[in-house]
C-alpha cells in the first residue's frame, strides 16, 4: 500500500509472500502451483497489508492489481480479487501492467520523474526502454532469446546451485576468478541495443561439461566469469542505448539510467553500469533489492500514478498473458519471451 501526493510517494506496507519453496522441487515455476498458491494466501495477505499500514478498506482511494503480462492463473486470481473489493467498496479499479510497475518504481523510491533510460532485467524480460512519461514508453531493444534472469537461473541449474539461480550464482562468484574463463560477450558492438544470452549459456554448459566433476573453485570461477561476461555485454548494450536516448530526447533531457527487475540486485552488473554511467555522464539509479524483485508496493504505486491522471479500468478488464509495455514497437525477431512475466 502506498500514499501518493504531489508526484512523490510513501510505502505504507509491502507484504511479499514468496512461492519459491513450493516450486523448488520442480526446478522452476509450475503454473498450476502458482495459481493455487495465489488463491491460498491472497485474503490473508490483504489483511496483513492493511494491518501493517494501520488502515481499513474504507481508507483506500482505489485498488490496483497486476493484469499482465505473466502466468494467467495467478493473474486471474489477483485481478478477480481486486475487482471484488472494488465492486463491494465502490472503489476505482486500476489494472496495472507489471512492466510499467517496474518502470515507475524509481518515482516511489527516489522521487525521480521521467524521462529516463530504463534497463529492465528480470526472469522473463530483458529490455531497454525510454520512459518518456507515465504511460509513454519507447522500446529501444530487447533480448532475441533468453531473458537475463533466465540465463542466471539456467547457469545455476547446470552448476547444481539451486533455484532461483541469480542470488546463488552471485554468491558463488564472490570467491571466483572472473578472468579464468573468457566467455563470449554477446552482441558486442552491434548498433541496435538488443541482447542475446543463449550463446553465453551454451559456452558455460560446454565448459562445465568439459571440466566434470566440478570442484567448488571451478564452480566459483565459472560463476565469476559468467557474471563478468554478462556485466560487459549489458554495459555495451546500455552504452548504445544511451546514444539513442540522447538522440531521441534531445540535449536538455536528464541523463539517467534506471535499472529495475530482479536481476538489478546483482552487484557485478551494477558496478559495470556505474562505471559506464561515470564515463558517459549518466546518473545510475537502482531501487533497493526488495523493490527490484516483484512486490506489491510497485504495483500500488503504478496504480496511484494512473489514478492521479484519471486512468481507471472497467470491472470487465481481462487478465493478459501477453501485454507489451510499448504497444507500438515491433516484436524482435527470435524473441520468444517478449510477453512473458517479468
Provide the binding-site residues for ligand KG4, judged by CB under 6 A.
122-124, 149, 152-153, 164-167, 170, 261-263, 265-266, 293-294, 341-342
CB 33 to ligand KG4: min, Å: 15
In the complex with ligand KG4, the residue whose CB is nearer, 107 or 165, is 165
Residue 130, classed as helix, strand or coil, is strand
Task: Give me the numbers of helices (H) and strands (E) for the chain, helices first please.
Answer: 11, 9
CB 135 to ligand KG4: min, Å: 21
CB 295 to Zn ion: min, Å: 9
143 binds Zn ion (CB under 5 A): no
Which strand (E) or helix (H) includes residue 227?
Answer: helix 216-249
342 binds Zn ion (CB under 5 A): yes
Cα separation values, 206 from 193, 253, 261, Å: 27, 45, 28
CB 173 to ligand KG4: min, Å: 9
Rounded Cα–Cα distance for residues 288 and 116 (Å): 18
Cα separation values, 291 from 11, 24, 72, 104, 173, Å: 11, 22, 23, 11, 23
In the complex with ligand KG4, the residue whose CB is nearer, 60 or 230, is 230
In the complex with ligand KG4, the residue whose CB is nearer, 127 or 266, is 266
Retrieve residue 336's grid coordinates.
520468444
- Give the footprint of Zn ion on residues 288-327 (CB under 5 A): 294
- State which of residues 97, 122, 233, 266 lies at the interface with Zn ion (CB under 5 A): 122
Contact present, 186 and 233 (Cβ < 8 Å): yes
Stretch that binds Zn ion, among 3-11, 122-130, 264-272, 319-327 (CB under 5 A): 122-130
User: Which residues, 6 or more positions from 87, have their beta carbon under 8 angstroms from its beta carbon?
Assistant: 315
Residue nearest to Zn ion (CB): 342
Site string for Zn ion, 78-117 (x = CB under 5 A): ----------------------------------------
Q: Which of 342, 340, 341, 315 is nearest to 81 (CA)?
A: 315
CA dihedral 125, 130, 131, 136 (to 10 degrees): -90
Rounded Cα–Cα distance for residues 125 and 147 (Å): 5
Q: Which does 263 bind (CB under 5 to 8 A by kind): Zn ion, ligand KG4, none?
A: ligand KG4
Question: What is the binding site for Zn ion (CB under 5 A)?
Answer: 122, 294, 342
Amino acid at each position: 500500500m502506498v500514499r501518493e501526493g504531489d508526484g512523490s510517494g510513501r510505502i505504507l506496507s509491502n507484504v511479499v509472500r514468496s512461492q519459491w519453496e513450493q516450486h523448488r522441487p520442480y526446478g522452476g515455476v509450475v503454473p498450476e502451483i502458482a495459481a493455487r498458491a495465489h488463491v491460498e494466501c491472497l485474503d490473508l495477505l490483504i489483511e496483513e497489508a492493511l494491518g501493517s499500514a494501520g488502515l481499513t478498506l474504507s481508507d483506500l482511494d482505489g485498488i490496483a492489481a497486476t493484469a499482465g503480462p505473466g502466468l494467467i492463473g495467478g493473474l486471474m486470481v489477483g485481478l478477480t480479487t481486486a475487482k471484488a473489493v472494488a465492486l463491494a467498496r465502490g472503489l476505482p479499479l486500476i489494472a496495472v501492467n507489471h512492466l510499467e510497475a517496474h518502470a515507475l518504481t524509481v518515482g516511489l523510491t527516489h522521487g525521480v520523474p521521467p524521462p529516463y533510460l530504463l534497463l529492465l532485467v528480470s526472469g522473463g524480460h530483458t529490455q531497454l526502454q525510454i520512459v518518456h512519461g507515465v504511460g509513454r514508453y519507447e522500446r529501444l531493444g530487447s533480448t532475441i532469446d533468453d531473458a537475463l534472469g533466465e540465463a542466471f537461473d539456467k547457469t545455476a541449474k547446470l552448476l547444481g546451485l539451486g533455484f532461483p539461480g541469480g542470488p546463488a550464482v552471485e554468491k558463488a562468484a564472490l570467491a571466483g576468478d572472473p578472468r579464468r574463463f573468457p566467455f563470449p560477450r554477446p552482441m558486442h558492438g552491434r548498433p541496435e541495443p538488443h541482447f542475446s544470452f543463449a550463446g553465453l549459456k551454451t559456452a558455460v554448459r560446454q565448459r562445465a561439461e568439459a571440466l566434470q566433476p566440478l570442484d567448488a573453485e571451478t564452480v566459483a570461477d565459472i560463476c565469476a566469469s559468467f557474471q563478468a561476461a554478462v556485466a560487459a555485454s549489458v554495459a555495451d548494450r546500455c552504452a548504445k542505448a544511451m546514444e539513442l536516448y540522447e538522440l531521441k530526447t534531445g540535449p536538455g533531457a536528464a541523463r539517467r539510467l534506471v535499472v529495475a527487475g530482479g536481476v538489478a540486485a546483482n552487484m557485478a552488473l551494477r558496478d559495470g553500469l556505474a562505471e559506464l554511467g561515470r564515463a558517459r555522464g549518466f546518473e545510475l539509479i537502482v531501487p533497493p533489492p526488495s523493490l527490484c524483485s516483484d512486490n506489491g508496493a510497485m504495483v500500488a504505486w503504478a496504480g496511484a500514478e494512473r489514478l492521479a491522471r484519471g486512468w481507471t479500468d472497467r470491472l470487465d478488464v481481462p487478465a493478459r498473458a501477453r501485454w507489451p509495455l510499448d504497444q507500438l514497437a515491433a516484436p524482435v525477431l527470435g524473441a520468444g519471451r517478449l510477453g512473458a512475466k517479468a
